[in-house]
């Protein structure tokens, strides 16, 4: 891989977009590599993923404008589909994905961060969808996920004005979950991911599936989705182990995702 690195620390996988000379901007090659890395994650051993960008200046500064500038209508739509396919794969991946946002998360960078389950950012992070100033709309899900995360009114304001916002405003709007000093970003996220990895994978993945599916359904249908996922946990090793440990007052637990 030329632009995407993947490393494993115990049960946590760390994906790093490594194109710092271009502030980790997304071009077709980066998207293809990212898709391949996601496909290659061992879901039997990895229990949480972290997505970040190389360096301290930028998470992902956006899609590669040099590549986009000469696209035709058909090519533009195809490029949008390529990005959306990868981001949707990330969003629906069975394992939780945390975005560790270190610096610029603009355009495609904001969009890929929003495709993760939640976002922790450094105090120098900057978010925005600047596309309207470039004569285009967001093409990797920005108009859809931003409105779902922070509400349509505020999303439209940010989209129409193409204004960038700093970390603290992103926190206030609910775009990110936590802001930490730059030096503490990866230690904070890795500790959080390790904590998630200690819980029963069958339950954590079930929570992700239930939330994702339920968001698109009326409440009466959504709670049925939850009931089925809840019921499926019973008679599993993880349910017996988790409840057994509680009843036996023991801290040690061995979860297997079975």
Segment 93-149, tens digit of pLDDT: 999 999 999 999 999 999 999 999 999 999 999 999 999 999 999 999 999 999 999
Rounded distance between C-alpha atoms, residue 166 and residue 116, angstroms: 19
In a domain, 60, yes or no: yes
Alpha-carbon gap, residue 23 to 187, rounded angstroms: 22
Range of the domain at 189: 4-197
Biggest CA pair distance of the chain: 65
- Contact present, 114 and 146 (Cβ < 8 Å): yes
Q: Are the C-beta atoms of residues 129 and 138 closer than 8 Å to each other? A: yes
Averaged pLDDT for residues 224-253: 96
Structure tokens given for 164: 């960038």
Q: In this structure, are 188 and 216 located in the same domain? A: no
**Chain CA centroid to CA 4, Å:** 15
The yes-or-no answer on residue 184 being catalytic is no
Out of 111, 227, 235, 248, the active site residue is 111
Residue 218 and residue 193 share a domain: no
Shared domain for 205 and 105, answered yes or no, is no
Residues 6+ apart with CB under 8 A from 204: 47, 48, 96, 196
Within a domain: 159: yes
Binned at pLDDT 50, 70 and 90, residue 64 comes out as: confident
Active-site residue, selected from the candidate residues 33, 91, 131, 190: 131
How many domains, the chain? Answer: 2
111 is catalytic: yes
User: Is 1's pLDDT higher than 90?
Assistant: no
């Amino acid at each position: 891989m030329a632009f995407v690195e993947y490393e494993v620390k115990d049960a946590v996988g760390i994906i790093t977009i490594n194109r710092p000379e271009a502030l980790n901007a997304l071009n077709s090659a980066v998207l293809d590599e990212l898709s391949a890395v996601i496909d290659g994650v061992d879901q039997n051993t990895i229990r949480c993923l972290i997505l970040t960008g190389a360096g301290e200046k930028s998470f992902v500064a956006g899609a590669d404008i040099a590549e986009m500038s000469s696209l035709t209508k058909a090519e533009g739509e195809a490029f949008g589909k390529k990005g959306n396919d990868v981001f949707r794969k990330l969003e629906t991946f069975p394992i939780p994905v945390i975005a560790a946002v270190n610096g610029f998360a603009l355009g495609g960078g904001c969009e890929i961060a929003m495709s993760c389950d939640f976002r922790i950012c450094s105090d120098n992070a900057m978010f925005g969808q600047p596309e309207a100033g470039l004569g285009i709309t967001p093409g990797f899900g920005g108009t859809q996920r931003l409105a779902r995360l922070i509400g349509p009114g505020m999303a439209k304001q940010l989209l129409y004005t193409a204004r960038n916002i700093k970390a603290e405003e992103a926190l206030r709007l609910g775009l990110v979950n936590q802001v930490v000093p730059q030096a503490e970003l990866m230690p904070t996220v890795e500790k959080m991911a390790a904590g998630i990895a200690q819980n029963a994978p069958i339950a954590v993945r079930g929570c992700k599936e239930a939330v994702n599916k339920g968001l698109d359904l009326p409440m009466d249908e959504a709670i049925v989705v939850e009931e089925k996922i809840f019921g499926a946990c019973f008679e599993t090793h993880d349910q017996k182990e988790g409840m057994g440990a509680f009843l036996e007052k023991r801290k040690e637990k061995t979860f297997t995702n079975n």
